[in-house]
Amino acid sequence: MLASAVRGVVVAAVAHTLPPRSLPALRRSLLDWFRAHRRALPWREAPALYKTVVSEFMLQQTQVKTVLPYFTRWLERFPDFAALAAAPEDAVLKHWEGLGYYSRARNLHRLARAVAARPAPPRTAAEWQELPGVGPYTAAAIASIACGDRVACVDGNVARVLARLAGDTTPFDSGSAMVKHFRPLAAEVLAPAHPGEWNEAMMELGALVCAPRSPTCLVCPLLKHCATADPAAAAAIPRLERPRTERRAVVRLWCVHGGKLLLHRAAAASKRLADLHELPAAADLGLSDADARRGELLLRRSRSITRYRIEESIHRWRDQPVAADAALSGKQNSAGGAALHWVSLTELERIALSGPHRRWVRELLAHA
């Protein structure tokens, strides 16, 4: 819980610029702005519970612009909970391919089955949080937006808005600590008559106006209510210590034999890539990186995953007969039961590959 002293700082910051009944004015300002300026997003058109659930799962750690085409395709293939619940997992993963964090797809699939088996969907945030993959933020978003539950959402965008509104310079060592710190204040400012719309408005303000590095304070609907109200000062709030970027190198192997490509399928217990295919790393085949690098370098790419900056190099594997023996035997590696598989080049578009590997495989085949 947020300490009463910190809450006092928030109230005092608002009281400096507003009359005693400041919250109603603040709420009206933000809701009026949102109704005039909100983005036209597909899950806001003919809003429905299922659309809200799917969008919230897709938007976890993913930008709106990335989600848009996936959301449209998803709704075409899985239009409701029943259709998603009845779908095989391979189809679900295939339609999620490229969005990353595949545990979200599996949890959404499991959630659909749980909802489809109930006489009625959950209505409160507490009930939603009992379902697979639904944490406090996602539960609050679904319950408030689709069910009218009077519960506040707090993600990084909302926490940033609240920190600046309050002039709160508390340092945080993680995003989760920051979110937890601002939950009581979020509940305090929530518009009780319009909880879902208020939560969307707060998130929209954080995404479009109260941006992390270059906030546009002069056009902010909460400018007169804000204890910071200055772009330079606001850019330094909240005080969140970013973890250091760690660099990693991964050496992968390219082996095409008899019209088939050697791929590595992650174990079902894998947290991030369960059952997805990727090009095998040197270690998957019992090789050192130095041994793998002796093959011709075909491709080098860099990407970021959370705090990691990963450089991946793909080398042609010179010892293909050995590769064939290892893969066709279905030999299990030591990392939890993941195996090597030959996949026909004609079947590659039907299986689920992680997004970057899909791009790399296409690129390499195009130049083969």
Per the structure, the complete domain to which residue 235 belongs is given by 4-240
Residues 310 and 357: beta-carbon distance below 8 Å:
no
Query: Among 210, 240, 270, where does a domain finish?
Result: 240
Residue type, 161: V
Q: What pLDDT is recorded for position 367?
A: 81
- Tell me which of 240, 258, 293 is where a domain ends: 240
> Residue 16: its pLDDT value, please?
33
Q: Are residues 86 and 158 in the same domain?
A: yes
Burial class of residue 152 (count of CB atoms within 10 Å of its CB; 0-12, 13-18, 19+)? buried
Residues 143 and 282 in one domain: no
Alpha-carbon span 303 to 297, nearest angstrom: 18
Domain check: are 337 and 230 in the same one?
no
Spatial contact of 254 and 279, defined as CB atoms under 8 Å apart: yes
- Both 234 and 275 in one domain: the answer is no
Do residues 235 and 270 both lie within one domain? no
Contacts (Cβ under 8 Å, ≥6 apart) of 246 = 307, 308, 309
Verify that 156 and 179 share a domain, yes or no: yes
Instruction: For residue range 70-102, list pLDDT tens digits in order.
Output: 999 999 999 999 999 999 988 998 899 888 888
Looking at the structure, tell me whether residues 360 and 290 fall in a common domain. yes
Q: What pLDDT is attached to residue 140? A: 96
pLDDT confidence of residue 90: 87
**Which of 222, 240, 258 is the C-terminal boundary of a domain?**
240
Other CB atoms within a 10 A radius of the CB of residue 2 amount to 18
Number of domains the chain contains = 2
* CATH number for the domain harbouring residue 294: 3.90.79.10
Query: Do 305 and 226 share a structural domain?
Result: no
Strands (E), the chain: 171-172, 239-240, 246-254, 256-257, 260-265, 277-278, 297-305, 308-316, 339-344
Indicate if 229 and 276 belong to the same structural domain.
no
Residues 201 and 323 placed together within one structural domain of the fold: no
Nearest partner of 38 among 202, 226, 189, judged by Cα? 202
* CATH code assigned at 98: 1.10.340.30
Cis link prior to 221 (omega < 30° from 0)?
Answer: no
State how far the Cα of 32 lies from the Cα of 38, in Å rounded to an integer: 10
Catalytically annotated residue among 45, 56, 197, 278? 56
pLDDT in single tens digits along all 368 residues of the chain: 333 333 333 333 333 333 335 889 999 999 999 999 999 999 999 999 999 999 999 999 888 999 999 999 999 999 999 999 999 988 998 899 888 888 899 999 999 999 999 999 999 999 999 998 899 999 999 999 999 999 999 999 999 999 999 999 999 988 889 999 999 999 999 999 999 999 999 999 999 999 998 899 999 999 999 988 888 899 899 998 877 878 888 899 999 888 889 998 876 656 666 677 889 998 888 888 898 888 889 988 888 777 778 898 999 987 665 555 554 454 444 334 458 888 888 888 888 787 788 888 888 888 86
> Quick one: 209 and 279 in the same domain?
no
CA–CA dist 25, 138 (Å, integer): 28
Q: Are 234 and 304 found together in one domain?
A: no
Q: How far apart are CA 10 and CA 96, in angstroms?
A: 41
Three-point CA angle 248, 61, 247, nearest 5°: 10
- Show the 3-state SS of 247-306: EEEEEEEECEECCEEEEEECCCCCCCCCCCEECCEHHHHCCCHHHHCCCCEEEEEEEEEC
The span from the CA of 301 to the CA of 80, in Å, is 38
Tens-digit pLDDT profile for residues 196-232: 999 999 999 999 999 998 899 999 999 999 988 888 8
Residue 347 annotated among the catalytic residues of the structure: no
